[in-house]
Structures are given as C-alpha cells and as structure tokens.
Amino acid sequence: MKLGINGLGRIGKLSLWHHVARKHFSGVVVNIGREVGRNLTDLAAMLEKDSTYGRLGAYLYGHSCPRVIEELDEEKGTMRVDGVPVTILRSSRNPKDIAWQQNDVKLVVDSTGVFTDPTTDGGSDKGALRGHLQAGAEKVILSAPFKIKSKGLDIPVDAVTTVMGINDDMYDATRHSVISAASCTTTCLSYMMKPLMEKIGAERILSASMVTVHAATGSQQVLDRLPKTGATDMRKNRSIQNNIILTTTGAAKALSLVIPEMATIGFMAESVRIPTTTGSLIILVVNLQDELQQPIKRDAINTIYKEFAAINPYLKFSEEQNVSSDIIGMPAAAAVIEGTETHTRTANIQVNLAKVKADSLREGADPIVNVPVTQAVVYGWYDNELGSYTNMLGDLTVNIAESLI
C-alpha cells in the first residue's frame, strides 16, 4: 500500500522521514502542488537536511551515513529515499484535483493546516479535506484539530478525533473516513489528564487549567511586519526571534473529543510562543476535592504517572532535571512528566451555601462549609514536531492503514 502526504511543511516533511525509516508502506506519494526551487534536486536537498534534526541519513543510520536520496527523475517527479520509492506531485493544490487514484493511494495524511473543516463539501473550489476522498482516497488523516467554520454544525458521523493510546479504539474502520490526529499540545495534555482521571476520578476534579510554553511554529514572523487588512491580533506579526508571544490554543476544546469526561470539568487552556525551534512544555494545574486527614501529596501524583507509564509506551516519567533540548527527537513520547517539579498544596476552601442553594439550609444552620481542596501542579515536556507528534501520527497512520487491508 502507498501512503499519500499532502503538504511538505514541518509535519509533512518529518512524516516522510518517519515513514521512510519505518518502511511500512511500499511507497510514498507527496503532493506539494507547485514547483520547488529550480528542479527536483533542490527539493531533494531540502528533504535531506533539517535545521532542527540534522541530516536525514544521520537520523536513519548515524552521522557517518552517506546521502540516502538517489535515482532522481525530473520528468516523472520520482526519487528513492533510503530505498523507498517517493513520487512528488506538483500540479494541484486543491485536494479534489490531486492524482491520488492515478497513483494508487488509498490513505492520505493532510499536513497543510489549511483544510481543517470536516463539514466542507469535497467539491469546493477553495479546497476541502473531503476533496481527498473525492480524488480517490478511502481515508484521510488530518494532522491538526478539526475546525468547523459554520456555527451550529456538529462533527459529521464519519469523522473522529483520536490520540494513540488514549482513545484510538474509538476509530471504526467501517464508519470513519475522516480522522483528526488532534494536535501536539492536545496529545501531550491527554497523557497528563488521563492518568489522573483514571486513578483519582473525574468527579473529584473541581477545575483544571494549563499553559503551554510552546516553541515557534511556521505561523510566526522572523521580523516584525505589518498585519493583514482586518487583522485583530497584532502579536502574530511580531518577531518570534526576540519575543515571548501570547497566543491561543484549542487544546481544551479538542481534549473533550479525546476524553469525553473532560466536558464536565471547568478547564482553561492558554498558550505562549517562545524563540525555540521545538521542545515545548505544559504546566498543568488541577484542583481536587480532598481529605484533610489524608491529602493527596506529590509522591501520590508521581506514582500515578509512574504506573501509567509502565503500561503505556507513550508516557514517559523522568526524575532528571530536563531542559527543552533534552526532549528533541525523543521517540514516541507524547508527554515526559518532570517528576522532580510536581508539587501539591492542600487547604480548606470556605463555601457559602447560602449563595449556592439557600432554600436547602435549615433555619439557623451555619451556611459556611469548609471543603478541603488540593492544588496539584504537573510539568509535561513534548517534542511538538518529530519526537512526540510525528511519531504518534505515524503510529496512527499505520494503524488505520492496516484496517484497509
């Protein structure tokens, strides 16, 4: 079976690296939809080198490895990458016009970040995620969260959001043809929340919040520039090289699609972008209803993560003192819990029942109730490009491919 990849940005390029190394597919067909540089040789040079992860050959075999891209055919748009046949399509950017059927592609990963609405008709002249199905693919995986543009529309019945090891069993091969692999942040966050919810219980989680200290992405500007007409967020046009930039994240909304119980918990998610190329951090704060006699302590929280990591290969628990560069390239690590930084505080919170449900109080009863609450803070690292997200996306891709056989 051949794999199709639409888009050759950060995730598209690193997905190609992943599947070349894995060699599960008989070939890879990459759609760029335009010419790159002067010829196929220029494109091959961009594929083989990476400013964050080094050379493709070194990634595959170590630093002494020679070049691994060969047999370039400019006319056919083909090459061999470490023995894997790779075809480059350069004529169509609209998914419905891409030659998937002509190249025997049944499964496509769309990594453009442009086509994210699962409700848009595949025949749209502006392009749509479902266009891949119209062009001959049987399944399409989106390397981003779904974003429905029209208010009032629900996610279609043939679409699902999954994170490997958390809810990938929700994927039904007979039902789902459009699959979202969520985002790097949602993936990490799901591995930070799921163990707590299983051991402590969702009913004891009063509220939670997170901040992702996120590496720069392709949407950031190298230098300050004027915003587009009608733009409302001026920060997006400021230089990422010398700024910490406040931004937004859809992780809270997407998390409830992966862990439905999250819909009952008051949850907020914030994000800042920082001047690093990859390696990001989630700071999770959880407020738990507790018992003063036996409050939840740091060791108990860390034990929950240790035990979950022992049975789930995508969660790592570390007692080392890490920095962001230590996480880069770490394989299949959705989240790396920094156990040395976990901490908790327990205190009584005074609740005035008269302001909650006054008619249920007995006459003369004290309306003030002391509720013990523990606040737990947990730190989780993730490589938002290759190490965490692309490797897990690759596992999901292979999992779905096997359902097509």
* Closest to 87 in 3D by CA, of 26, 132, 46: 26
Q: Is-catalytic flag, 188? A: no
What per-residue confidence (pLDDT) applies to 359?
64
What per-residue confidence (pLDDT) applies to 288?
95
Q: How many residues does the chain have?
A: 405
What per-residue confidence (pLDDT) applies to 45?
95
Q: What is the rounded distance in angstroms from the CA atom of residue 110 to the CA atom of residue 117?
A: 12
Provide the strand spans (E) within 353-396.
368-382
What are residue 228's phi and psi, to 5 degrees?
-70, 160
* Closest to 30 in 3D by CA, of 110, 94, 96, 106: 110
Strand partners of residue 268: 209
348 alpha-carbon distance from chain centroid: 37
Class of domain 2-156: alpha beta
Task: Give Cα separations from 73 to 70, 87, 103, 146 (angstroms).
Answer: 9, 10, 16, 37
Q: What is the rounded distance in angstroms from the CA atom of residue 157 to the CA atom of residue 178?
A: 9
Please report which residue ranges of 200-318 form alpha helices under DSSP H. 251-258, 298-311
Q: What is the rounded distance in angstroms from the CA atom of residue 210 to the CA atom of residue 359?
A: 36
| Cα radius of gyration (the chain) | 23
Q: What is the DSSP code string of 251-275?
A: HHHHHHHHSGGGGGSEEEEEEEEES
Positions of the chain with pLDDT under 50: none
What are residue 157's phi and psi, to 5 degrees?
-70, -20
Q: Which helix (H) or strand (E) holds 109?
A: strand 105-110
Domain boundaries, the chain: 2-156, 185-385
Task: Give Cα separations from 79 to 17, 62, 394 (angstroms).
Answer: 14, 22, 21
What per-residue confidence (pLDDT) applies to 219?
87
How close are the terminal C-alpha atoms of the chain, in Å?
8
Q: What is the rounded distance in angstroms from the CA atom of residue 65 to the CA atom of residue 57?
A: 5
What are residue 391's phi and psi, to 5 degrees?
-65, -40
* Closest to 200 in 3D by CA, of 290, 285, 310: 290
CATH H-level superfamily of 185-385: Dihydrodipicolinate Reductase; domain 2 (3.30.360.10)
375 three-class SS: strand
What per-residue confidence (pLDDT) applies to 376?
97
* Closest to 180 in 3D by CA, of 14, 32, 392: 392
What per-residue confidence (pLDDT) applies to 280?
97
Q: Which of 30, 47, 56, 184 is catalytic?
A: 184
Tokens of 211: 């901040």
What per-residue confidence (pLDDT) applies to 341?
97
Provide the strand spans (E) within 153-305.
159-161, 178-180, 205-215, 245-247, 266-274, 280-289
Q: What is the rounded distance in angstroms from the CA atom of residue 226 to the CA atom of residue 363?
A: 64
Amino acid at 112: T
8 Å CB contact between 404 and 107: yes
Q: What is the rounded distance in angstroms from the CA atom of residue 329 to the CA atom of residue 387?
A: 4
Q: Angle at CA 109, nearest 5°, toward 108 and 114? A: 115
Classify residue 302 by burial, with Cβ atoms within 10 Å: 0-12, 13-18, 19+. Answer: middle
